[in-house]
A = this chain, B = another copy of it.
């Protein structure tokens, strides 16, 4: 039952879609910065697996992608896709956005669930869902030498936090089936992300102090 074949296949498809979308975003931003093919590949890979890698390092376990070369192949597929459809990517932007959001939903679920399975407190699970979903993009932006976008635009990371809270609440306080909880969580993440982009919702910005006020 745990290894119901159709479920695994479905999750695998979702995970491939998410990895693909994350890798595509890394590859496109890297190529805008004149990275070579190898550099674009690395940035794509790190965008896709960076969040889960930090999560697994914090848990003290071997990072997930070292067990299965699928993430590497998926990144290679993404690179070839960008090379071939280079001039048509913009027309695919809403598809990428959908894939990216689906991937985000899944990554949050995987991160939060792994934390609870390891016996960590619910608040750790929320953080781990958020790290899994958002740190890949942060590393991507550091590598291309830009300020991480998630700290400034739209409600990306907050969608992870909300998803993590939903997952933990349902997992601890409902009698729902795990698959239902997973799908509900991912749906909440996708919905928050969709609404944030559609209505240009963003968190308030702290008014900056004058520069000469700043610490150090």
Chain A 47-72 against B: per-residue CB contact (8 Å), 1 yes, 0 no? 00000010001111111001001001
Cα–Cα distance between A207 and B31 once the two chains are bound (Å): 6
- Which one of A4-12, A102-110, A119-127, A173-181 is at the B interface? A119-127
A115 closest partner in B (C-beta): B66
- Tell me how many residues of A have a C-beta within 8 Å of chain B: 73
Asked if A24 is at the interface of the complex by the 8 Å CB criterion, the answer is yes
A66-B58, A86-B207, A90-B209 as given contacts; A34 in contact with B123, CB under 8 Å: no
Q: When the two chains form their complex, are residues A90 and B31 in contact, meaning their CB atoms are under 8 A apart?
A: no
CB distance from A104 to the nearest CB of B (A): 12
Q: When the two chains form their complex, are residues B89 and A33 in contact, meaning their CB atoms are under 8 A apart?
A: no
Q: When the two chains form their complex, are residues B151 and A203 in contact, meaning their CB atoms are under 8 A apart?
A: no
Residues A22-37 near B (CB distance < 8 A): 24-25, 27-37
Cα–Cα distance between A27 and B145 once the two chains are bound (Å): 20
A38-B151, A90-B209, A203-B38 as given contacts; A214 in contact with B32, CB under 8 Å: yes
A62-B58, A206-B35 as given contacts; A89 in contact with B143, CB under 8 Å: no
A34 closest partner in B (C-beta): B205
Given contacts A29-B215, A34-B205, A38-B151, 16 further A-B contacts (CB under 8 A): A24-B215, A25-B216, A27-B206, A36-B151, A36-B206, A39-B150, A39-B152, A40-B206, A53-B58, A57-B58, A58-B66, A83-B206, A86-B206, A90-B213, A93-B215, A138-B143
